[in-house]
Structure 1
Amino acid sequence: MSDPYFFGYGSLVNRATHSYAAAHPARLHGWRRVWRHTDLQPQAFLTAVPVEGSAIDGLIAAVPGADWAALDARETGYDRVAAPRVDHPVGDVDVRVYTIPKGKHRVPDDTCPILLSYLDVVVQGYLTEFGESGVEAFFATTDGWDTPIRDDRHAPLYPRAQVLEPRERAMVDAHLRAVGAVAI
């Protein structure tokens, strides 16, 4: 039996944030990203929600031996569910996606902003995997850009923060301006 895979659509797209080596670009059909928050974290984070007719790009990666414990711990607050409609180059494998079901999350506000250090990691991953057009698609297929942004780049609060090149930071900032995001 082959190892199962996860579909990552946020920070898991950035390979520098995990050690799942068998990763491949993929597209998940019938889902869309949205910024949300729960009582488990003091900041907003991405979740995927079912939306018929939508599709999001990301990575699939093998979970060796179906040992989900470390990934489940990283994705605390999410449910791991079947992702039946995923385009990828691996063949016939079981793919799961982490989602926070309706009723377990709510719209973020000033008390639960998006951490810029988290967004930087996500965008860096999309830039590496999919190029500039992938970054544009990430912003276009993500809802909730009215969520306030906390600029924590000088002292990152996100535990898997990465160093961005000036060009990467400028790209993030330009896309945030384009979607009308507000920094607090």
Structure 2
Amino acid sequence: MKAPYFFGYGSLVNRATHAYPQAQTATLSGWRRAWVRARERDDLVFLTAVPDPTARISGLIAAVPNADWAALDARETGYRRREATDAVTHGAPDAESIAVYAIDPTDMLNEGQHHILQSYLDVVVQGFLNEFGEDGVAEFFATTSGWDTPILDDRAKPLYPRAQVLSTAEMALVDHHVARVKADL
């Protein structure tokens, strides 16, 4: 039986944050990543996919067993599940359909104080490093907008619920790329 899949482009790329089966790398065309402020939590920004016909982003697809979306929908609170099957390039012969979670533009906010949690960014970068290597990390930073948003350093006491422990080398890699994108602003 074919199963529905999701395409993850942020924290879902980090397999340590979930136990979804049949995970494998994939590419989503017609979308880009962006840090955006959302109604769900107006003091933080979330990584979302934004339609962009000229863009493509790397990520991970994984099966949703028995089409039971409840747990994943709960994890992705504030995001809307959208059909993306025809936009995803992958090697999963049993992927019946593929969804991507994105914040609805009507739920995006433009004003106010907000920040990226360092622990959230660390999880995302660790996932990209594990799946795509250092070139994949560089590609993540290059294909994501919103780096003008302040970053709250919560590494000592992570606020992100799925925070992971990073090695010294992983933290240095994140810090290197953050400094590079901030310098380019």
Greater per-residue helix proportion: 2
In structure 2, the partner of 1:33 is 33
Q: What code does the residue aligned with 2:31 have?
A: W
Point out where structure 2 has 5 or more consecutive residues left out of the alignment.
none
Q: How does 1:155-170 map to 2 (within 5 A)?
A: 155-170=157-172
How far does residue 45 in structure 1 lie from its aligned partner after superposition?
1.1
Q: Is the 8 A contact 1:79 1:100 kept in 2?
A: yes
How far does residue 101 in structure 1 lie from its aligned partner after superposition?
1.8
In structure 2, how many angstroms separate the alpha carbons of the residues matched to 1:136 and 1:107?
27
In structure 2, the partner of 1:142 is 144
Q: How does 1:1-184 map to 2 (within 5 A)?
A: 1-41=1-41, 42-83=43-84, 84-91=86-93, 93-107=96-110, 111-180=113-182
In structure 2, how many angstroms separate the alpha carbons of the residues matched to 1:43 and 1:57?
24
Q: How many residues align?
A: 180
In structure 2, how many angstroms separate the alpha carbons of the residues matched to 1:152 and 1:131?
24
Q: Is the 8 A contact 2:6 2:98 kept in 1?
A: yes
Greater per-residue strand proportion: 2
Q: Is the 8 A contact 1:7 1:96 kept in 2?
A: yes
SS of equivalent residue, structure 2 residue 128: helix
What do you get for the CA RMSD once the two structures are aligned? Answer: 1.2
Q: Give the 3 Å change call, closer, same or farther, for CA 107–140 of structure 1 in structure 2.
A: farther
Point out where structure 1 has 5 or more consecutive residues left out of the alignment.
none
SS of equivalent residue, structure 2 residue 53: strand
How far does residue 108 in structure 1 lie from its aligned partner after superposition?
6.8
* TM-score, L = length of structure 1: 0.94
How far does residue 103 in structure 1 lie from its aligned partner after superposition?
1.9
Sequence identity (%): 59
How far does residue 71 in structure 1 lie from its aligned partner after superposition?
0.2
Structure 1 residue runs of 4 or more that deviate by more than 4 Å after TM superposition: none
* TM-score, L = length of structure 2: 0.94
Q: Give the 3 Å change call, closer, same or farther, for CA 21–161 of structure 1 in structure 2.
A: same
Q: Is the 8 A contact 2:6 2:62 kept in 1?
A: yes
